[in-house]
Structure 1
Amino acid sequence: MTATGHSLRELIAAPHPDHAPLPSRAPSEPDVHELRGVPYAEVEGSRPLELDLWLPGSSRPGPLPLVLFVHGGAWRRGRRDDMGMRTRHWAPRPFARIAAEGFAVACADYRLSGEATFPAPLDDLRAALRWLTLRSAELGIDTSRTVVWGESAGGHLASLLALTHADPALVGAVIWYGPSDLTAARGRFTPEDATTPEALMLGTAPAAAPELARGASPLTHVHADAPPFLLVHGEQDTMVDCSHSRSLASALEQAGSPVELRTVQRADHGWLGLSDVQVEGLFAHSLAFAHRLVA
């Protein structure tokens, strides 16, 4: 022990994310500030988990509603600040656009399937929400008004978070072409195949672990008190069959939970096949949906 009463190991370690100083806010796009690479959790034997934050640059009344974005990448790869291939050239960037409309935006890391298997990535998103709630006064955000927004594999995790997280409960979900059912063959996916991204995320073929696959399927967790969902999916999606969103929408409707399903003609995965104007329209529609939930 040292004179301070702490071990050398404790002194060497970086400050815990719960009380580590926040980085300075850096100007980004017009009227938007960024905080990049903010640690939010320490996981034993793993890399520190970080998130990026976009905040309106000008002062706004009261704590800000939050958009928690969950990136795609087949649960195997991806970057937390990437909304998909069709938005990478945007200026201003998509998260700056959301922040400029009065939201705080958090884009969180989660452990990928080469690092840990389900439910690790969902646990990480819960940890991000816990940290954002803990530090909400410093950040000027209100996590009781959180909309989760995810695309592809991130849409799957965002759906699960919206359907199962209770403290705080989310106010809504925007899901772009996300898987909802890991138990049945859909499109190119078959639950018997141990090499699919779904199987790698679970750690085994879904058919070999049916209860695990059910637990990882948003369809299993639909309930009457689910928050409002916006499901947007390309009708020609060759990676995540459009039936995933149709089935989830149907289950939410039958449960009496608010849901809007928007299928898009001639759109493949990641909005391949659409014009820039069409993709901009889908983004604007999604942002307007989020606005209505926090108004």
Structure 2
Amino acid sequence: MTIRGKLLLLALVGCNAAGAATTVRLPTWACNGNNDRIFRNGLQAGDYVRPRPSHGNGGAVPGPQLRTLSIAGLGNGTQKIHLYIPPNYDPAYATPLVVTLHGTAGSLANADLYAQDVRNTWQSVAATRGFIVAAPVANGVSGSWKDGFSAPPNDYTFLAAVMADLRAAYNIDDSRTQLWGFSAGGHVAHDLLVNGAVPALDDNHISAYSVSAGRLFALACLGDTEEQCQGRLDTQGRKLPFDLHLGTADPMYGPPYNAVQDPPRFETAGWVMDDTLNYYVFGGGHTYEAGHFVDIWNFFCRFAVSP
């Protein structure tokens, strides 16, 4: 195991010893287009979970938007976040957020296009289901993510800044923030949730997460033995609801990457199939499509996180 891996595992065990957030299962109204705001505000019986508004305001609405940050020493010094704000967004009400991480693009210029494609594909679901989509642009020279193995500032620095910026600009429901990643973005999503590298995107703050064409051993368990990787899952204080979408023709599916072996690892650690674990196999390759995002949102919308 690497030094970074040992430190993260020790930190994880310490965090779990102190307790973790709780998964709340939501009623069906939470999955509709306006989140039944009257119901959520306690005017009807059965409102057993309330939103946790960030009280942000001032961000541009509605539709596709672009926000920029300036973190010196990262990428070209300017970082981009492609957003979609649904037509029913009202800053008076807390709105769910899905943070999306694109795959390796080959260059910084292509990373911008990849992030836009992710945003645009998620947009078709967000427009009718009423959630915000955020697609940060990776800052690595290969158009991928500068993860926690890179000296800061890296993309974990950036993602922490993304969350702070969005919570200030929009009224985000902190009980219903979700994370999705594709390929290299999926590897990062696993690392963020298994190892807790970015507090705003750890298992105490994310209600559920999803990976398309990603795997544990690419980053979250990099350098681990099978037993060490299993130990990371076994010691999670909260069995954070997790979805995996994987194509049978995807190189990630079988040898040498074997992402197909990840769901049993989660089950061994206490996740429950068709409850806290959703595993969707499709007859395709290394890709994603809008139909997958409908399925993923239908999983996401069932859960909230309570501190």
TM-score, scaled relative to structure 1: 0.63
1:120-155 Cα deviation digits (max 9, x unpaired): 499524532444235514311134422111111111
Report SS of the residue matched to 1:269.
coil
- After TM superposition, the structure 1 stretch with the greater mean CA deviation from structure 2, 96-105 or 68-77, is 68-77
Letter paired with 2:99 = L
What is the CA-CA distance between 1:282 and the residue it aligns to? 2.3
Preserved CA contact (<8 Å) 1:67 1:147: yes
Q: Distance in 1 between matches of 2:265 and 2:179?
A: 19
**Counterpart in 2 of 1:246?**
260
**Counterpart in 1 of 2:172?**
141
**Counterpart in 2 of 1:201?**
none
Which one of 282, 287, 296 corresponds to residue 264 of structure 1?
282
Letter paired with 1:64 = T
Report SS of the residue matched to 1:170.
coil
**Counterpart in 1 of 2:24?**
none
* 1:67-146 equivalences in 2 (<5 Å): 67-73=98-104, 78-80=110-112, 82=114, 93-100=120-127, 101-114=129-142, 118-119=147-148, 120=150, 123-125=154-156, 127-133=158-164, 135-146=166-177
What is the CA-CA distance between 1:71 and the residue it aligns to? 0.3
Gaps of 5+ in 2: 1-56
- Tell me the percent identity: 20
**Counterpart in 2 of 1:171?**
207
Preserved CA contact (<8 Å) 2:213 2:246: yes
Q: Distance in 1 between matches of 2:170 and 2:79?
A: 18
**Counterpart in 2 of 1:160?**
191
Letter paired with 1:270 = T
Q: Does 1:231 align with 2:244?
A: yes
Preserved CA contact (<8 Å) 1:69 1:108: yes
* 1:39-54 equivalences in 2 (<5 Å): 39-44=68-73, 46-47=75-76, 48-54=78-84
Q: Distance in 2 between matches of 1:226 and 1:123?
A: 28
Between the two proteins, the alignment pairs up a number of residues equal to 226
1:78-108 Cα deviation digits (max 9, x unpaired): 4356379xx78xxx94232233211111111
Higher RCO structure, 1 or 2 (CA under 8 Å, sep 6+): 2
Q: Distance in 2 between matches of 1:74 and 1:213?
A: 25
Q: Does 1:66 align with 2:97?
A: yes
1:5-58 Cα deviation digits (max 9, x unpaired): xxxxxxxxxxxxxxxxx99626xxxxx42321x223503263222211211233
Q: Distance in 2 between matches of 1:45 and 1:155?
A: 21
**Counterpart in 2 of 1:25?**
60
**How large is the RMSD of aligned CA atoms in angstroms?**
3.7
Preserved CA contact (<8 Å) 1:51 1:80: no
Preserved CA contact (<8 Å) 1:231 1:245: no
Q: Distance in 1 between matches of 2:185 and 2:280?
A: 18
1:222-268 Cα deviation digits (max 9, x unpaired): 24324111001011213x23464322211111111332212223x12
What is the CA-CA distance between 1:176 and the residue it aligns to? 0.7
Gaps of 5+ in 1: 1-21, 27-31, 183-197, 199-210, 272-278
1:187-214 Cα deviation digits (max 9, x unpaired): xxxxxxxxxxx9xxxxxxxxxxxx9644
Q: Distance in 2 between matches of 1:248 and 1:142?
A: 30
